[in-house]
Amino acid sequence: MFVGEPSTHFQHFVDPLIDPQIQDFISLMNPETDAVVDARTHPPPPQSQLVAQSEAQAPLRIPPHQDIHLNATEANTSITVLDFKMKNDKHPRVEGFLLMSSPVPQTIIIGAYIYFVTSLGPKLMENRKPFELRQIMAFYNFGVVALSVYMTYEFLMSGWATGYSFRCDLVDYSRSPTALRMVRTCWLYYFSKFIELLDTIFFVLRKKEGQITFLHVLHHSIMPWTWWFGVKFAAGGLGTFHALLNCVVHVIMYSYYGLCSLGPAYYKYLWWKKHMTTIQLQQKGGDIEHGSPTIQTSALTTGLKVITEVIAAPPPPLAASLRLRSRPESNF
Residues 199-223 have pLDDT tens digits of 999 999 999 989 999 999 999 999 9
Cα separation of 41 and 280, whole Å? 55
Cα separation of 239 and 323, whole Å? 41
Q: For residue 182, which amino acid is it?
A: M
Mean pLDDT for the chain overall = 74
Residues 6 or more apart in contact with residue 195 via CB below 8 angstroms:
144, 147
Give Cα 251 to chain centroid, integer Å.
Answer: 17
Write down the domain spans for the chain.
6-88, 103-326
Give Cα 151 to chain centroid, integer Å.
Answer: 12
Contact present, 192 and 149 (Cβ < 8 Å): no
What value does the mean pLDDT take over residues 27-53? 52
Q: What's the pLDDT score for residue 292?
A: 58
Would you mind telling me the total number of residues written for the chain in this entry?
332
| Residue 293, burial from CB neighbour count under 10 angstroms (0-12, 13-18, 19+) | exposed
Cβ atoms within 10 Å, residue 184: 16
Active-site residue among 12, 91, 216, 219? Answer: 219
* For the chain, percent of residues with pLDDT exceeding 90: 47
For residue 249, give Cα distances in angstroms to 144, 245, 320: 11, 6, 24
Instruction: Determine if the pTM surpasses 0.75.
Output: no
The full DSSP string for 98-113 is TT-S-HHHHHHHHHHH
pLDDT, one tens digit per residue, over 286-331 is 656 665 553 434 434 444 444 444 444 444 433 333 333 333 345 5
> In the annotation, is 219 catalytic?
yes
